[in-house]
Amino acid sequence: MAANPPSIAVDLAIGGMTCPSCATHLQAALAAVPGVQSAQVQYPVARARVQTDPQVAVSALIAAVTGVGYTARLQAEAGDAPSGPQPAAEGGLRVAIIGSGAAAVAAAIEAAGRGARVTLVERGTLGGTCVNVGCVPSKLFIRAADIAHLRRTSAFDAGISPCTPSIDRARLLAQQQALVEQLRAAKYQNVLASHPAITLLRGHAWFADAQTLRVALADGSEQNVRFDRCLIATGARPAVAPLPGLDGTPYWTSTEALASAQIPPRLAVIGGSVIAVELAQAFARLGSRVTMLARSTLLSAEDPALGEVLAAVFAAEGIDVRLHTVADHVRYDGGEFVLSIPGGEVRADRLLLATGRVPNTDALGLEALGVSRDARGAIVVDDMLRTSVPQIYAAGDCTHLPQFVYVAAAAGTRAARNMTGGQARLDLSAMPAVVFTDPQVASVGLSEAQARHAGRAVDTRVLTLDNLPRALVNFDTRGLVKIVAEAASGRLLGVQAVAAQAGELIQTAALALRAGMTVTDLADALFPYLTTVEALKLAAQTFRRDVSQLSCCAG
């Protein structure tokens, strides 16, 4: 009688299963790996036990699991149920990641789930820009300013008495920082700690060669990190305009502005793009007298109509907007900034520079490797996040891609898949963008100017919000929705909006754009009445009728 072939038992902890059929699907995938004698996947305990020939690598089993859309890691001992962090599998692809923001952590999680051994290097605060000094604190600060504004004045003051709010910035700052610390711990520190295949190093990393990072650790020592693939996700920092007299003055960037425990009586803002308009309005609503100096117009990269609406809103709120104005000198004297501008000067207690961001790529040793960068220093990547050096990838604000946290996270995830054998592409053709002013400004797809520059024949319509029932009942008709469509087919090419909830509206437009819908499709779709998103339907209807002559909820 023949002896049974030798075998070993491998227990895997499985992630991502949502139903018993997932277990069946996974069991078939594992059984198909050459050398696997049997496989059993238990959905209730998220575990797989695989009997294999001795020569079968654990990494082959993990690859089979990740190949069908789940995650896997080796358990501590055969027969043990998952119980917290477990040791990583032996061997496996070595992935190094520089940075710990949205792109870096998304990539680390994805790469570890696909069987790689990941070393993540962070030289500063864990979590990167968004959670620490960007999205989270700024949107909390903006919301606090919105509340102060509504208590001071609203369209319903005749029936609801307004009041003058007392602003305790120190307490608001404490609330803000508590949330930042909570999210940093929950979404970065704890998440990384829960993955045994991820090692976090604290220190500054640079490339010793095309397969080695040199890391100056926080304790003063140095360490080499060898890798098979590397992701650069070092983010960006606020740009500092080359303004004569600025050096040595206590000017603010967005980082210092959001960390300040005071609301200055007078604030000068240099800039007219996203960060400038968001913070200018928020500080004004919390009590600062704000003067903005914009080199061009507000939101000059967007359709001109959007910046025009916003400029009118700011003027109505008492914000002094100086368009096409550049300061040629600044001095700081007696606690006061004095900005020289054509024909006069601007005086302020604080000066905020909001003139863009600079990629953090200047201390990585990229020149010696031949990693291509653009004129700003941003790393150039293709749609698979590859740089000009085959084994090195990049994602997030250090690249030439749009600087949004959701783009960074999506890029990080796709880079990780590609570093571990995948073929994932980043498609930005329907990328929504939102500016968190009040009203919000949002866009997706092509503007009219972009479409015409690309040689497209277009048809456009603009719906002002005095045609939107939701805006009418809110007594807030500030804003518009513009649709850009292909002239011949009516296919949607882009949408731009200024509205109280434009950020919510724009995602519907993004889905319509991705689905290849026409303006007729949008006009005929059912939209809930008395919602802001109904503006999309009404704007689409303007391509074939005068919506001012419709009943209030005409289909």
Q: Enumerate residues 6+ apart whose C-beta is below 8 A from 201.
A: 119, 120, 121, 122, 215, 217, 223, 225
Q: Quote the tokens at residue 192.
A: 């990384």
Known catalytic residues are 17, 19, 22, 70, 130, 135, 552-553
Neighbouring CB atoms inside 10 A of 240's CB total: 14
d(CA 261, CA 278) in angstroms, rounded, equals 18
Q: 244: helix, coil or strand? A: coil
d(CA 231, CA 18) in angstroms, rounded, equals 30
Element housing 10 (H / E)? strand 8-15
Neighbouring CB atoms inside 10 A of 80's CB total: 12
Neighbouring CB atoms inside 10 A of 259's CB total: 14
209: left (phi over 0), alpha (psi -120 to 50) or beta: beta
From the number of C-beta atoms within 10 Å of its C-beta (0-12, 13-18, 19+), residue 7 rates as middle
d(CA 135, CA 126) in angstroms, rounded, equals 15
DSSP state of 548: G
Q: 125: helix, coil or strand? A: coil
Q: For the residues of 445-493, what is the DSSP string, one character each? A: E--HHHHHHTT--EEEEEEEGGG-HHHHHTT----EEEEEEETTT-BEE
Secondary structure E strands in 254-300: 266-270, 289-293
Query: Up-side HSE of residue 271: CA atoms within 13 Å toward CB?
Result: 25
Does residue 212 contact residue 227 with C-beta atoms inside 8 Å? yes
d(CA 277, CA 292) in angstroms, rounded, equals 9
